Chain A
Amino acid sequence: MALKALDIYKLLPKKNCKECGDPTCLTFAMKLASGKGDIDKCPYLDLNAKNILGASTRPPIQLVKIGVGERRFAVGEEFVVFRHEKTFYHPPGIMFQVSDLWPAEKIESVTRRVGSEHFVRVGTDLTFSGVAITNESGDPDVFSKAVGVVEATGTHIPEVLMAADPVVQEEGLKKCGNFRPLIYSATKDTYKPMCALAKKFGSPLVVSAKDLESLGEMTKLCNAEGITDLLLDLSFPSLRDYVPAATEIRQKSISRSAPELGYPIFLDTTRYEMQDTALVLGIDKYAGVIVTPALGPASSVATLTLRQNIYTDPQKPIQMNPGIYPVGNPGKESPVLLTVNFSLTYFTVQGYLESSRVPCYMFIVDTEGLSVLTAVAAGKLNETLVRDSIKKFDLENLVSHRRIIIPGYASPLSGKIEEETGWKVLVGPRDAAEIGDYLLKEWKI
């Protein structure tokens, strides 16, 4: 169980030597208690204290970094079971699988795709994370060549080397071991040589076993070999076992009742027929690294969007900067549509306005990211805000008319806005999908 700062303090030398970088032993203890400190920074800890503190002061789920350079990513270091309790921090890396049996051009094209493909959603760039090279040939040279093909593309994307045989694994690592590829995987039979490779190349390592108990034993064995950058392989024969196992790991690692399970989760979805189902379960429920075949266009965007959704901080509404946003090429007589600065509202309305082909101005007022419904209910969207925003963004000089369209859900405010601003208020539809029709029918100058 987690120790409180004072319990930790009792185990520290209480010298206040500052060698750990903190001003006092107590502040260092507080850092450790919050999971943000590193006990190795204290040079005077005795072994016993180290053992007690070791398991309970590191983050409940180990942070593991994969790859180097711009595209590197980190997984683990999560603190909650449900995203609403705080947030999830490290979205899973999604790796496209390539086989060493494929012709070089095919490996190259998947690698280049991951290197360059990106989708922009809600102002954020979304990309897949890397490639997983599988050793299907069983031949060390063929594997090494395939890794070489990936490296030669110069895309510098993170890699998973999937070779069960340590001899084959080493041949791959010789090609890319400097770039922190993820090694897949160590079993009860291979953990010693695999740990030696992980140590030699400074790479993180996946451990595989038949159930959670054996996985816990494996991490202890690897720890004893000096390896702590580990992932737990949950690609069990039946996909049915994934959510229960992933949930149990998350619960037990967060509560620190099983520190040996406090590592990110690895899921190889290529083992299952139901590709999309496996992806959804992995993203929703705690996966750190997911291997998938290169996805088609439909699953690609849906996968990246779901990952973005689940890893959005639920406590921070995504906000737009308040202001005036033109759609098309609006002029002095174009309609002005008021809405809130909740970015989903903005992007939804903008999408419909664009397809309506009516040039217009979107007039975005600052409701601190609240949606229309909530902003009206909370009084954040009110006549004073509208009046002040008209002044602030100089709407009077932008258009020659004095009419403003407000969202249907803000209709209770229409009278007050008219009184306060002197502008005529038109109440638009409640549903953004109807905005195009509305403009065509109702907007006449």
Chain B
Amino acid sequence: MAENSPDLGGKIGYVVLGATKAEDGTRSVSYRLGGESDLPFIGMKTSLGSIPLVAFEICDDPSYWSPIVTSYTGDLVSDTPEWATAAEQQYGADLVRLYLTSTKRRGFDDFPSITKVTEEVLSGTGLPLVVEGSNEPAIDSEIFQRCGEAGQGERLLLGTAEAGRYRSVAAAAMAYNHSVVAQSPIDINLAKQLNILLREIGVKADHIMIDPYTGSLGYGFEYSYSVMERIRYAALKGDTDLAMPMIASAMDSLSVKEVREADPVIRDDIAVAWEFYAALSSAVAGASIVCVRHPKTVPLLKLAFRELWAGKKPGEF
């Protein structure tokens, strides 16, 4: 019904995640994100743009994870590869995002475990993988080198590059042909600046995904929503430094007061609603990947996207 918006000449660039056997990897599917030349949800009839993907977030040390997820999921969370399998087969996610939370332990130095868990998760699921590296700058280089190498040929998405802390992750990404999550603190100019920095050291534009930082619903989400709209619109107007697909994860959703302190009887429902409202709104604002942690949120988002994108499949144009 809608015509395309006036006066827009730009286009979001492509990023490819995952590599199938035909692409010299082992993933069962790969996705090409980006390509949109209009506002989100518009122009679908002329087959512009891809359906948003749902990433399910897991970690390798669940003691750092929300008790809402761990108590809902049970023992499964202690077996990272099995958890990844469940994300694909039970929950129906499009991607798995692995957080290496074990690196948060004081004095972490078990580097071989990083290689091991990355490899095991890659065997546990055929989905393309996002890996979130260390929380400690001092060990960045070793960690990213390890997970980059373990995922060689799989076209991972490696995170997270920030201004002042992007060299290690970028180096690993370039060495093993992975893409990079570029995160900036809810600021369009800083997002642009970081993309320029990454490109200056050799990361190609089609290997960058913008993470504008997503506050959770009620706790800064409005700023994230608007910065995503601004980035998308700037890209459509021709700013190529911002014309990368975006990834959004309102990762604090399960720890905000409304969810954390909810009546246990409905706590899971509140958690799911909190994730769902922020994730769907992020897609409305232009995110290509939305990330959630509660298993029940995944099928709801998938259903909504499938309906709104007229039955399009992930990765299809």
Contact = CB atoms under 8 A, between A and B. Distances in A.
Nearest to B229: A82
B258 A82 contact: no
Interface string B1-26: 11101100000000000000000000
Interface stretch (B83-91, B138-146, B269-277): B269-277
A251 B218 CA distance: 27
Contacts of B218: 121-122, 305, 308-309
Interface string B210-249: 0000010111111101110110010000000000000000
Interface stretch (B115-123, B153-161, B169-177, B304-312): B304-312
B239 to A, nearest CB: 15
Interface string B274-309: 101100110011000000000000001001100110
Interface in A201-259: 211-212, 236, 239-241, 243-245, 247-248, 251
Nearest to B218: A305
Interface residues of B, number: 51
A239 B1 contact: no
Contacts, number: 130
Nearest to B42: A244
Contacts of A305: 217-218, 258, 277
A353 to B, nearest CB: 11
Given A298-B273, A302-B274, A274 B307 contact: yes
Interface in B1-59: 1-3, 5-6, 39-44
Contact of B260 (A236, A284, A355): A355
Given A244-B41, A302-B274, A239 B307 contact: yes
A313 B266 CA distance: 31
A239 B304 CA distance: 10
Nearest to A241: B1
A137 interface: no
A302 B3 CA distance: 32
Interface in A304-320: 305-306, 308-310, 312, 314
A123 interface: no
B63 to A, nearest CB: 12
Interface in A50-89: 82-84
Contacts of A310: 222, 225
Contacts of A302: 217, 270, 273-274, 276-277
Given A277-B308, A348-B219, A314 B303 contact: no
Contacts of B270: 297-298, 301-302
Contact of B310 (A240, A296, A306): A240
Given A82-B233, A244-B2, A297-B269, A309 B217 contact: yes
Contacts of B221: 306, 309
B264 to A, nearest CB: 13
Contacts of A347: 219, 257
Contacts of B300: 276
A309 B307 contact: no
B185 interface: yes
Contact of B280 (A244, A280, A312): A280
A277 B280 contact: yes
B185 A84 contact: no
A83 B226 contact: yes
A84 B225 CA distance: 9
B256 interface: yes
A247 B2 contact: yes
B272 to A, nearest CB: 7
Contacts of B276: 276, 280, 302
Contacts of B266: 297-298
B57 to A, nearest CB: 16
A312 B222 contact: yes
B75 interface: no
B200 interface: no
B168 interface: no
B280 A309 contact: no
Contact of A355 (B225, B261, B280): B261
Contacts of B252: 433
Contacts of A244: 1-2, 41-44
**B5, B41, B43, B217 — most chain A CB neighbours (10 Å):** B41
Given A297-B269, A351-B257, A82 B280 contact: no
Contacts of B193: none
B273 A248 contact: no
Contact of B256 (A285, A312, A348): A348
A241 B1 CA distance: 7
B222 A314 contact: yes
Contacts of A211: 1
Contacts of A285: 284
Interface in B164-184: none
A302 B226 CA distance: 18
B304 A306 contact: no
A302 to B, nearest CB: 4
Nearest to A300: B273
A312 B222 CA distance: 7
Given A277-B280, A351-B257, A248 B226 contact: no
Nearest to A297: B266
Contacts of A355: 260-261
A247 B225 contact: no
B255 interface: yes
Contacts of A348: 219, 256-257
A344 B281 contact: no
B307 A247 contact: no
A344 B273 contact: no
B217 A212 contact: no
Contacts of A251: 5-6
**B1, B221, B227 — most chain A CB neighbours (10 Å):** B1
A348 B258 CA distance: 11
Given A285-B284, A309-B218, A433-B255, A240 B225 contact: no
Given A299-B273, A302-B274, A247 B1 contact: no
A308 B258 CA distance: 15
A6 interface: no
Nearest to B304: A277
A377 to B, nearest CB: 9
A243 B41 contact: yes
Contacts of B227: 84
Given A247-B5, A247-B42, A298 B269 contact: yes
11 contacts: A83-B225, A244-B1, A248-B3, A276-B300, A280-B276, A298-B272, A302-B276, A310-B222, A310-B225, A344-B215, A347-B257
Given A84-B230, A243-B308, A305-B277, 7 more contacts: A244-B44, A251-B6, A274-B304, A281-B280, A301-B270, A302-B270, A312-B222
- Give 6 closest A-B pairs by Cβ, nearest first: A244-B2, A351-B257, A298-B269, A309-B222, A243-B41, A302-B273
